[in-house]
Amino acid sequence: MALLKMEERSGGAKAAFRLLLWLLVAAWIAVGCGSKKKGAPESPLPLPESETEDRVILSVGETEYHSSDFRKYIRDAFGEKADTLEPATLSRLLDEFMETKLLLHAARQIGVVVSEEEKNVYLEKVKQGGGGEESAELWEFDSGDFTEKLVIEKYLAQVTQNVTVEDEEIRRYYELHKSEFFLPERYQVSQILLPTEAEAVETWEKLRSASEEEFRAAARTKSIGPEAAHGGEMGIFQKGQLPQEMEAAIFSLAEGEVSSIIESSYGFHIFRLDKKFESEWLSLAEASASISRMLLDLKIKQAIRLHIQSLEGSLKWQLFPENLFFPYQRNKS
């Protein structure tokens, strides 16, 4: 299965691996960081570099992994912050490291490899996302870690390739969670941000009765806000998403009307209410795509979790916590 084809499928390799990372890293780090009891904090542990301490911490099949492999794993993810991680967080990261190696072993058992064509497709997609040169260098000097990640992505695509969401599941979710599909009043807003009050007053005098085109032209040439290049378009907001004094000025405007000058710590703002959206309920047809993606993500995550559990029971592997450089805290959940 070509990598391009897999990535075009919404529940394919790339999505599956992102979900794996979300499941095994984000949640576990949150557990690790949130599991401390009130009182004296745990002391972060330094990561030893001595070769005499580079012991085997995990074996999967005939492959052995050492403490240096795990240190590299967390340093690749956290950089200098790796030296400040506490035992609970290191424990969850070790769980992730172990499960990643189980997946890698299972992938190799069935002969999963990444072809040059698939590598090029991947790099082209990254390049289109703006990270081409950095990824190309990473690939050129790759010690194997990056390739292993793509092997796991491809393997997980096979594991989850039959995961689907039926129309009846979408309808049932919609009926049981209708409150999630109520949209309150929303306001499409643009702004011009100016550094001084004098500039703001001069600009406001010119724009208070200006057309939309004139407002956007002024935003592009005068505004110091991050949305200036887009004609001042800030986006769509609900009540409670902007500072109170700004909302009071913006949400009282009629469509196409320009606000008075609002001062903030960023400068002097002139807002324009581009459009007001009345509150509404999304229909099943309108909500269907987002429900499908959400349910598919959940089902893929569950499929990956169950598959990892099956690998833990079927593969030959062993963890050696006594050889770790920190006190391992087993995840009992």
From first to last of its 333 residues, the chain has per-residue pLDDT tens of 333 333 333 344 344 444 444 444 333 333 333 333 334 344 445 555 444 578 999 999 999 999 999 999 999 889 889 889 999 999 999 999 999 999 999 999 999 999 888 888 887 777 776 555 555 555 555 557 778 989 999 999 999 999 999 999 999 999 999 999 999 999 999 999 999 999 999 999 999 889 999 999 999 999 999 999 999 999 999 999 999 999 999 999 999 999 999 999 999 999 999 999 999 999 999 999 999 999 999 999 999 999 999 999 999 999 999 999 999 998 765
- Quick one: 10 and 121 in the same domain? yes
Length of the chain: 333
In a domain, 178, yes or no: no
Domain that holds residue 245: 185-278
| 130 token code pair | 């703006």
In a domain, 180, yes or no: no
- Quick one: 99 and 137 in the same domain? yes
- Quick one: 139 and 198 in the same domain? no
- The CATH number that applies at residue 206 is 3.10.50.40
Q: What is the pTM of this model?
A: 0.64
- Quick one: 191 and 158 in the same domain? no
- Quick one: 82 and 52 in the same domain? yes
In a domain, 34, yes or no: yes
Following DSSP, what letter does each residue of 144-175 receive, concatenated? SHHHHHHHHHHHHHHHTTT----HHHHHHHHH
Q: Where are the alpha helices (DSSP H) in 48-183?
A: 67-78, 87-109, 116-128, 132-140, 145-159, 167-176
Task: Kindly compute the dihedral angle of the four CA atoms of residues 140, 144, 150, 154, in this order, to the nearest 10 degrees.
Answer: 130
- Quick one: 99 and 205 in the same domain? no
